[in-house]
Amino acid sequence: MKPKSVIKLFAFAALFMFILGFVYPTVSSLAAEGLDPFQANGSLIEDNGTVYGSYLLAQAFNESYFFQPRPSATGYNYTGSGSGPYALDANQTLNQTRNLINKFISDNPTVNISKIPYSMVSYSGSGVDPDIPLLGAQDQIPRITGSLHSILLVSGKNVSNSSLESFLNKTVSKYVVQNFPLFGSYYVNTVQLNFAILNLLIGYGAIKGY
């Protein structure tokens, strides 16, 4: 092959890496800003310029009045990945799962083990799975009811357990979706649920902001 042809090929490669690799995504990004800025930016939860998270990503909701997302092997780190270094049949996985079950039961003592979805005691793949099965949310309602009741009491609001419970049930029902039309299983997004709870607390003046 002639040297000139080789140079042409190098130019061809560079040109198309530039057009397809650089120009295309960059132009798309600029266009997307106009198209749907909310989703194009990652469904971010923004308030006064501060980003508090994304509806698509779980956080470590450390308070007991929040719905707990699935356990994370990466500590809900956005740049981490995976469900830990252990294969499913490794002994470590077994111990890990036992610990997670014990923790879930100690957090939610009213729940029978046979009502705990396995999802709630196994790591998600991304480490930031915001979604939990419907039953996983329902399991947590008694604990959250109690927890909300006491934190509201602290700030001087006595809200009955039953109204809190019906609020939580309603919220869960509002956000429940299926992971495939008709045939999917039901799940809820903990970020959405927890923002509803946050708004409730803010509404009652129990906390000031995010």
Partner 1 sequence: MSYVSTDSTGGTNFWVSFFESQRLVSGTIIILIYILLLSIFAYLISGYIAKLYRGEKTWLDPISGRLVNFFINIFGEDAKKDTKMREYFITLLIFNAAAGIFAFIFFYFQTYFPFAGVTHNYSFSLSFNTVTSFLTNTNLQHYSDPLHLSYLSKTFVLTGLMFLAAATGFAVSMAFIRGILNENGRIGNFYRDFLVSVFYLILPLTILVTIIFILSGVPQDLSQYVNVNPILSGGIQRLPLGPVATWEAIKNIGTNGGGFYGSNAAMPLENPNWFTNLVEFLSFTVIPLGSILSLGKVFNNRGFARTLYIVLISIFFFTTFMTFFAEYSGIPSITSLGTLFTGNMMGKETAIGISQSSIFSSGAVFTSTGAADSVLLAFTPAGLLGLMGNLILNDPLGGVGTGVLNIFMYVIFAIFITSLMVGKLPELMSIKISSKEIKYSTLSLVTHPLLVLIPFGITMLLPALVIGDPNPRPDVISSVLYEFLSAASNNGSEVGGFATNTAFFNIADGILMLMGRFILMGLQLAIAQSFATKSPKVETGRTIETGSPLFALMLFVTIIMLGVLSFFPVLALGPFLSWAKDFNLFIGGLL
What residues have CB less than 8 Å from 57, skipping those under 6 apart?
76, 78, 128, 130, 191
Tokens of 68: 């707990």
x/- string (CB under 8 A) for partner 1, residues 56-95? Answer: xx-xxxxx------x-----xxxxxxxx-xxxxxx-xxx-
CB of 144 to partner 1, least distance (A): 15
Asked if 16 is part of the footprint of partner 1 (rule: CB under 8 A), the reply reads yes
Taking every pair of C-alpha atoms in the chain, what is the biggest distance, in angstroms? 86
Query: Residue 197 carries which side chain, given as an amino acid letter?
Result: I
Angle between helices 91-107 and 134-154 (to 10 degrees): 40
Q: Distance between CA 102 and CA 96 in Å, rounded?
A: 10
Asked if 5 is part of the footprint of partner 1 (rule: CB under 8 A), the reply reads yes
CB of 109 to partner 1, least distance (A): 16
By CB under 8 A, the residues from 131 to 190 that bind partner 1 are 131-135, 138, 169, 172-173, 176-187
- One residue of 97, 142, 146, 147 binding partner 1 per CB under 8 A: 97
- One residue of 3, 32, 150, 157 binding partner 1 per CB under 8 A: 32
